[in-house]
Amino acid sequence: TWTMVNIVEEQVEAISAAIGPSGRAICGLSGGVDSAVAAALVQRAIGDRLTCVYVDHGLMRQGETEQIERDFVAATGADLVVVDAEEQFLSALEGVSDPEQKRKIIGREFIRTFEQAQADVIAKEPGAVDFLVQGTLYPDVVESGGGTGASTIKSHHNVGGLPDDLEFSLVEPLRTLFKDEVRLVGEQLGLPPEIVWRHPFPGPGLGIRIVGAVDRERLDILRAADAIAREELTRAGLDRGIWQFPVVLLADVRSVGVQGDGRTYGHPVVLRPVTSEDAMTADWARVPYEVLETISTRITNEVDEVNRVTLDITSKPPGTIEWE
Task: Extract the annotated binding site for ATP.
Answer: 30-36
The set of residues, in sequence order, having a beta carbon less than 8 Å from that of 204 and lying 6+ positions away, is 59, 102, 103, 106, 107
Reported as half-sphere exposure (CB side, CA atoms, 13 A), residue 318 has a value of: 0
Q: Near ligand XMP by CB under 6 A, which window of 19-27, 154-162, 196-204, 260-268?
A: 196-204
Q: Is 322 in the site for ligand XMP (CB under 6 A)?
A: yes
Distance of closest approach, residue 321 Cβ to ligand XMP, in angstroms: 3
DSSP summary character for residue 244: B
Of the pair 127, 317, the CB lying nearest ligand XMP is at: 317
Q: Do residues 185 and 37 touch, judged by C-beta distance below 8 A?
A: yes
Q: List, as one string, the DSSP characters of 105-127.
A: HHHHHHHHHHHHHHHHHHHHSTT
* Contact positions with ligand XMP (CB under 6 A) in 91-110: 103
Q: List, as one string, the DSSP characters of 129-165.
A: EEEEE----HHHHHHTT-TT---SEEEEE--TTS-TT
* Contact positions with ligand XMP (CB under 6 A) in 225-244: 244
Of the pair 165, 278, the CB lying nearest ligand XMP is at: 278
Of the pair 29, 45, the CB lying nearest ligand XMP is at: 29
DSSP summary character for residue 184: H
Give me the residues paired with residue 170 across strands.
132
Q: Is 279 in the site for ligand XMP (CB under 6 A)?
A: yes
Q: Is 134 in the site for ligand XMP (CB under 6 A)?
A: no
* Contact positions with ligand XMP (CB under 6 A) in 136-165: none
Distance of closest approach, residue 245 Cβ to ligand XMP, in angstroms: 11
Q: Near ligand XMP by CB under 6 A, which window of 90-98, 214-222, 228-236, 313-321?
A: 313-321
Q: Is 76 in the site for ligand XMP (CB under 6 A)?
A: no
Residue 25's closest CA among 173, 175, 171, 186?
171
Distance CA 1, CA 285 (A): 31
Q: Is 203 in the site for ligand XMP (CB under 6 A)?
A: yes
Interacting residue ranges for ligand XMP, rule: CB under 6 A: 103, 200, 202-204, 244, 279, 316, 320-322
